[in-house]
Structure 1
Amino acid sequence: MDHQKFAAAWISAWNSHDLENILSHYSDDLMITTPMITLATGGKESTLTGKDAVRDYWQKALDKFPDLHFKLIHSAAGVGSVALFYQSIMEKHAVEVMFFNEEGKINKMFAHYD
Structure 2
Amino acid sequence: MLDKTFAERLALDWIAAWNRHDLSAILAHYRDDFEMSSPYIAEMAGEPSGRLCGKPAVAAYWSEALRRLPDLRFEHLATLTGADSVIIHYRGARGLAAEVLWLDASGLVWRAAAHYQ
TM (norm. structure 2) is 0.90
1:101 Cα deviation from its structure 2 partner: 1.2
Please name the residue that 1:96 is paired with. Answer: 99
Which of 41, 61, 74 is matched with 1:37 structurally?
Answer: 41
1:41 Cα deviation from its structure 2 partner: 4.7
Please name the residue that 1:75 is paired with. Answer: 79
Please name the residue that 2:91 is paired with. Answer: 87
Alignment of 1:48 with 2:55, yes or no, is no
RMSD over aligned Cα atoms: 1.3
1:34 Cα deviation from its structure 2 partner: 0.6
Which of 101, 110, 114 is matched with 1:111 structurally?
Answer: 114
Please name the residue that 2:27 is paired with. Answer: 23
Alignment of 1:58 with 2:58, yes or no, is no
Structure 1: runs of 5 or more not aligned: none
Structure 2: runs of 5 or more not aligned: none
- Find the aligned partners of 2:115 and 2:104 in 1 and give their Cα distance: 21
What percent identity do the matched residue pairs reach? 37
Aligned length: 113
TM (norm. structure 1) is 0.92
